[in-house]
Amino acid sequence: MRIVFITQDDPFYLAKNLDYLLKKMPPYAKVVGTVVADVSPFGKKETMTEKAKKTYDIFGLPFFIRYGLKFVTSKMSKQNSVKYVLEQHQIPLIHLESNINKPDSLDKIRAYKPDLLISIAGNQIFKRPLLDLAPLGCLNLHTALLPKYRGLMPSFWVMRYNEKYTGVSVFFVDEGIDSGPILVQKKVEIGNRSQAELIEYTKQLGMDCIIECIEKIHAGNYELIENDASQMTYFSFPTREDVKAFLAAGKRFY
121-148 pLDDT per residue, tens: 988 899 999 999 999 999 999 999 999 9
**114 contact partners, CB below 8 Å, separation of at least 6:** 2, 3, 4, 32, 33, 133, 134
Whether domain 2-248 has CATH 3.90.1150.10 = no
Q: Could you read off the pLDDT of 170-186 as tens digits, one per residue?
A: 999 999 999 999 999 99
Q: Could you read off the pLDDT of 15-51 as tens digits, one per residue?
A: 999 999 999 999 999 999 999 987 655 555 678 889 8
Dist. CA 114–CA 91, nearest whole Å: 13
Tell me which H or E stretch contains 185: strand 182-189
Out of 64-78, 97-111, 181-195, least confident range: 64-78
Q: Per-domain residue ranges for the chain?
A: 2-248
The backbone torsions φ and ψ at residue 117, rounded to the nearest 5 degrees and listed phi first, read -105, 140
Dist. CA 254–CA 252, nearest whole Å: 5
Dist. CA 136–CA 101, nearest whole Å: 18
Residue 165 and residue 190 in contact, taking contact as beta carbons nearer than 8 Å: yes
